[in-house]
Amino acid sequence: MKVRALGIETSCDETGVAMVEADEGGCSLIAEELATRPEVHGALGGIVPELTVRQHLEILPRITLRVREKAGTGDFSVVGATSGPGLAPALLVGLAFGKALAWAEKSSFYAINHLEGHLYSPFVSRGNWPVYPHLALIVSGGHTLLVDAINPRERSIIGTTRDDAAGEAFDKLARMVGLEYPGGPAMEKQAYGGEVGNYVLPRPMKGAEGCDFSFSGLKNAARLLLEKHPELAGPGLARSHFCAEVQAAIGECLADRCCRALSQTGRKVLTLSGGVSANQAVYRSLEEAARRSGAKLLAAAGGWNTDNAAMIAAVTARRALDHLAPNWETDADPRWSVALNS
């Protein structure tokens, strides 16, 4: 059996629509559209819910048409929309749009967990279905999670952040030194030519019990550094050194927690997804951590690491292939956990 699934993603500031074609052998992307307004969010220093919702409302119909045109026939048998976790009003727009579209096209509908999309992306970005068991690190602007994915119906959270998410730390530290939003990519660019160790930041939770993370201490340490070295907030080599140190600190913390989680669970595959996984220094730290732990690192391929609708379409297709009951009644759940126990 082959299915064509349309996925809709509106959990945060990205508006995404994608179509995939899938069977038991794997899943391939047919067409995708992704839109965001970094200039709007950047100018305001972050995401403004009402502007984000208006952006989704305006963009969704247009990019859905475009995806259907690009896909050729435009037909699909199932629609899936992100219904959590995320920004409630933004989720509601995508969910209502997805249900209406599925109803009008007489197709079935699934409410999809955004984080399950992130769990899928390292595999489906290569055309494959997830392999179990595996340990997953999701590092984005809203989440820093270590998930033990035992099988498709059973997964548990074994590590989470006690305060800021890793991406949030990148964004906040970047802002402190005058870099634009989103801070992670700006910081990675600025780190070229910089060296680790010239301005020292702590490695919060490194060596601590358990697998939790904490990044808020980096802000306080950076504040003290900035008081002493105001030149860090302007263009130049000093800021490059600072950015290289931030990447190293966050990368080392993530790597340390992953090593613990790998030894605790005995998993041999570590997956990596979410916006922060685009960072090369972070990637190298995790690759090294996996190697030291006798595991293989599988990161979401380019374009699939940040928020996208292709991963939502892929989870939707899997639901249809597994003949799961459609869930028209599911409401938006801003705090929907990725943990699953059935």
Q: Given the rule CB under 6 A, which residues bind ligand KG4?
A: 12, 140-142, 167-168, 170-171, 182-185, 188, 274-276, 278-279, 306-307
DSSP string, 271-317: EEESGGGG-HHHHHHHHHHHHHTT-EEEEPPTTSSSS-SHHHHHHHH
Q: Please identify, using beta-carbon distances, which residue of 185 and 217 lies nearer to ligand KG4.
A: 185
Closest approach of Cβ 295 to ligand KG4, in Å? 22
**Which residue, 140 or 265, has its beta carbon nearer to Zn ion?**
140
- Residue 64 near which of ligand KG4, Zn ion, none (CB within 5-8 Å, type-dependent): none
Closest contact distance (angstroms) between CB of 34 and ligand KG4 is 10
Minimum separation from the CB atom of position 13 to Zn ion (A): 11
User: Is 237:194 a contact under the CB 8 Å cutoff?
Assistant: yes
Helix (H) / strand (E) containing 150:
strand 144-151
Binding mask 129-168 for Zn ion (x = CB under 5 A): -----------x----------------------------
Q: Residue 13 CB, nearest distance to ligand KG4 (Å)? A: 8
Q: Give the nearer residue to ligand KG4 in terms of CB position, either 179 or 295.
A: 179
- Kindly state the smallest distance separating residue 114's Cβ from ligand KG4, in Å: 7
Closest approach, Cβ 140 to Zn ion, in A, equals: 4
Pair of tokens at residue 70: 């690009």
Q: Minimum distance from CB of 311 to Zn ion (Å)? A: 9
We find the least distance from the C-beta atom of residue 83 to ligand KG4, in angstroms, to be 15
Binder of residue 306, out of Zn ion, ligand KG4, none (CB less than 5 to 8 A by kind): ligand KG4
Q: Which does 7 bind (CB under 5 to 8 A by kind): ligand KG4, Zn ion, none?
A: none
Sign of the torsion formed by the C-alpha atoms of 113, 318, 320 and 64: positive
Q: Note whether 200 and 248 are within 8 A (CB).
A: no
Cα separation values, 59 from 8, 66, 310, 316, 338, Å:
12, 11, 17, 21, 28
**Nearer to Zn ion (CB atom), residue 17 or residue 321:** 17
Which residue, among 70, 28, 32, has the nearest Cα to 303 in the 3D structure?
32
Q: Which is nearer to ligand KG4, 182 or 217 (CB)?
A: 182
The option from ligand KG4, Zn ion, none interacting with 52 (CB < 5 to 8 A, set by class) reads none
What DSSP designation does 334 have?
T
Q: Residue 107 or 247: which CB sits closer to ligand KG4?
A: 247
Q: What is the dihedral of CA 218, 178, 231, 163, to 10 degrees?
A: -10
**How far is the C-alpha of 218 from the C-alpha of 127, rounded, in Å?**
38
- Closest CA relative to residue 134, chosen from 268, 20, 18: 268
Q: Is 81 helix (H, G, I), strand (E, B) or coil?
A: strand
Question: Please, is 91 exposed, middle or buried when counting C-beta atoms within 10 Å of its C-beta (0-12, 13-18, 19+)?
Answer: buried
Q: Which residue, 269 or 278, has its beta carbon nearer to ligand KG4?
A: 278
Out of 9, 13, 116, 307, the residue judged to bind Zn ion by CB under 5 A? 307
Classify 83 as helix, strand or coil.
Answer: strand
The verdict on 14 binding Zn ion (CB under 5 A) reads no
Three-class SS of residue 117?
helix
Which stretches of the chain bind Zn ion, using CB under 5 A? Answer: 140, 307
